[in-house]
């Protein structure tokens, strides 16, 4: 536990204030003797050692840690409360004409999601710089997220509220944009799919409408914003005490500095000090482009549900706000089902095959994603065709559940495909993915209602999902060839 506290922000602060007197590293203690392996490293330019979280030097049963899932839950899990709280806020912050009330009610959530897409463009590349690492980005942005959440919950001016919601999205974004990179630091390729499943599951956005569906009518629209503050504040404290650095480059950089002080050998440097280049990447790979676009479509479909529910369940089935919020439980149940299928598939099929035959090509991991790609299409069309008074409310709800479970499985495969194919650029690629996802999600929130009225957005998004079916089959067949032509991918020939 002391090692975790030492590498967490609290331990690093104590080390700084006491000139490294407390929470010392092994090589800083007086009785430390330089191991023979380190002497080999100093004298052999081809030798190396690692203190990365994924190889067990920092991670393990004896080292509990606060996972990125916890931070993701606080920043992302309650964001969709905005739909309910903004409708109620309209009554208290009248500033737009009545005909614009609908746009006004949805703009708060849309602008929040847009901020989610803007933030990673700045913060994720910074997290790949070895001298910075991931922890400072998490801590600083989470502090700002908590601070901004206070005036957001108290403001009485609508334009200021919208600006604050955008800033909340910006500073809440690193948990989504870099969370996958942190998991890639912490877990081996065998364990990474399970960690990614837990990370995506932790967003539980469906709980936002459930909570606000009862708190907003009973109290006020501000309560949904208070909930975000109440959850993120204690998580910030836990992060400060128990959230160590996970970036391998940063860990090795700091250890190299300590060894130079110990040995006086200026030639002892980390790989990141040798590379010394900007962490930028231009998305030119067709496989990556497809992943970005397809995840954006899935994200847009997911957020369109938050506009669909108030136009279906209260209108056709006479549900009140709280009852409509309860319908979102189907999304949570769908995620549990999707996660169970996904984890069971890896545990009982993929990992035993890896143990027996060795690592397959990356595209073999997409096998379960092939049938899952039909799920969003089936679910969306079922919802679109049965959301009427003559059909029981459970029927369109089943459509939503099918789409949500399939989307969960698909997102796992797409998110795992990126870090395993492009391990050196994980954070940058996740950051590039965020503007795609958040941009379409923002647009989906705004255009959902007029398209529902005129075209039927479920049918439209269902049609777009058909493109995803074609794309994921093409990725499965031609992905290895595309990666072989890439300047960035880690290519493994087909076996």
- Which domains, ranges and CATH numbers included, belong to the chain? 88-245+281-484 (1.20.1250.20)
* CA-angle at 374, arms to 369 and 380, nearest 5°: 130
pLDDT of 195 > 50? The answer is: yes
Distance of alpha carbon 247 from alpha carbon 27, whole angstroms: 20
Confirm if 102 and 87 have CB atoms less than 8 A apart: no
C-alpha dist (Å) from residue 317 to 214, 311, 393, 448, 455? 18, 10, 7, 20, 22
Convert the pLDDT of each residue in 328-377 to its tens digit. 888 889 989 999 998 898 889 888 888 888 877 777 778 888 899 899 88
Whether 5 contacts 245, CB under 8 Å: no
In this predicted structure, the answer to whether residue 172 has a pLDDT above a threshold of 50 is: yes
406 has pLDDT over 80: yes
Q: What is the pTM of this model?
A: 0.57
Of the candidates 150, 161, 151, 152, which has an alpha carbon nearest to the alpha carbon of residue 94?
161
Calculate mean pLDDT across residues 10-17. Answer: 86
How far apart are the C-alpha atoms of 366 and 116, rounded to whole Å? Answer: 27
Which residues are registered as beta bridge partners of 60? 63
Q: CB of 182 within 8 A of CB of 246?
A: yes
Q: What is the pLDDT of residues 113-159, one digit of tens each?
A: 888 878 887 787 778 777 788 888 899 999 999 999 898 888 888 88
The token pair at 123 is 């913060």
- pLDDT averaged over the chain? 75
């Amino acid at each position: 536990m002391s090692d975790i506290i030492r590498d967490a922000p609290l331990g690093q602060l104590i080390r700084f204030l006491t000139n490294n007197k407390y929470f010392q590293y092994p090589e800083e203690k007086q009785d430390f003797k330089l191991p023979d392996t380190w002497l080999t490293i100093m004298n052999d330019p081809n030798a190396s050692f690692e203190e990365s979280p994924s190889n067990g030097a920092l991670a393990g049963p004896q080292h509990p840690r606060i996972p990125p899932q916890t931070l993701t839950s606080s920043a992302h899990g309650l964001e969709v409360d905005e739909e309910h709280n903004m409708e109620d806020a309209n009554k208290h912050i009248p500033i737009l004409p009545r005909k614009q009330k609908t746009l006004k009610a949805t703009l708060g959530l849309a602008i929040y999601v847009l901020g989610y897409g803007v933030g990673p463009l700045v913060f994720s590349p910074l997290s790949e710089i070895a001298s910075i690492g991931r922890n400072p980005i998490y801590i600083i942005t989470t502090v700002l997220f908590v601070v901004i959440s206070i005036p957001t919950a108290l403001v009485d001016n609508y334009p200021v509220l919208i600006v604050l919601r955008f800033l909340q999205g910006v500073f809440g974004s690193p948990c989504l944009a870099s969370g996958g990179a942190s998991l890639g630091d912490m877990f081996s390729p065998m364990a990474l799919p399970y960690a990614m499943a837990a990370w995506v599951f932790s967003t539980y956005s469906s709980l936002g409408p459930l909570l606000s569906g009862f708190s907003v009518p009973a109290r006020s629209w501000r309560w949904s914003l208070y909930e975000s503050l109440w959850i993120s504040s204690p998580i910030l404290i836990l992060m400060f005490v128990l959230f160590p650095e996970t970036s391998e480059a940063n860990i090795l950089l700091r250890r190299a500095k300590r060894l130079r002080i110990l040995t006086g050998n200026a030639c002892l440097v980390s790989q990141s000090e040798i590379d010394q280049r900007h962490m930028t990447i231009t998305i030119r790979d067709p496989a990556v482009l497809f992943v970005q676009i397809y995840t954006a479509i899935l994200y847009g479909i997911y957020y369109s549900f938050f506009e669909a529910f108030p136009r279906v369940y209260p209108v056709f089935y006479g549900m009140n706000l709280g009852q409509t919020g309860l319908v979102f439980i189907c999304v949570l149940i769908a995620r549990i089902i999707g996660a169970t299928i996904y984890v069971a598939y890896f545990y009982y099929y993929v990992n035993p095959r890896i143990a027996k035959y060795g690592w397959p090509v990356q595209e073999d991991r997409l096998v379960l994603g092939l049938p899952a790609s039909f799920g969003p299409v089936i679910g969306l069309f079922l919802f679109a065709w049965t959301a009427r008074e003559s059909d029981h409310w459970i029927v369109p709800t089943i459509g939503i559940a099918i789409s949500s479970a399939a989307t969960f499985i698909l997102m796992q495969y797409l998110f795992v495909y990126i870090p395993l194919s492009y391990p050196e650029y994980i954070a940058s690629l996740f950051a590039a993915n965020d503007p795609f996802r958040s941009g379409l999600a923002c647009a989906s929130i705004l255009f959902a209602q007029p398209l529902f009225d005129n075209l039927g957005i479920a049918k439209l998004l269902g049609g777009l999902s058909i493109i995803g079916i074609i794309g994921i089959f093409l990725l499965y067949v031609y992905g290895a060839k595309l990666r072989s032509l890439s300047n960035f991918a880690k290519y493994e020939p087909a076996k």
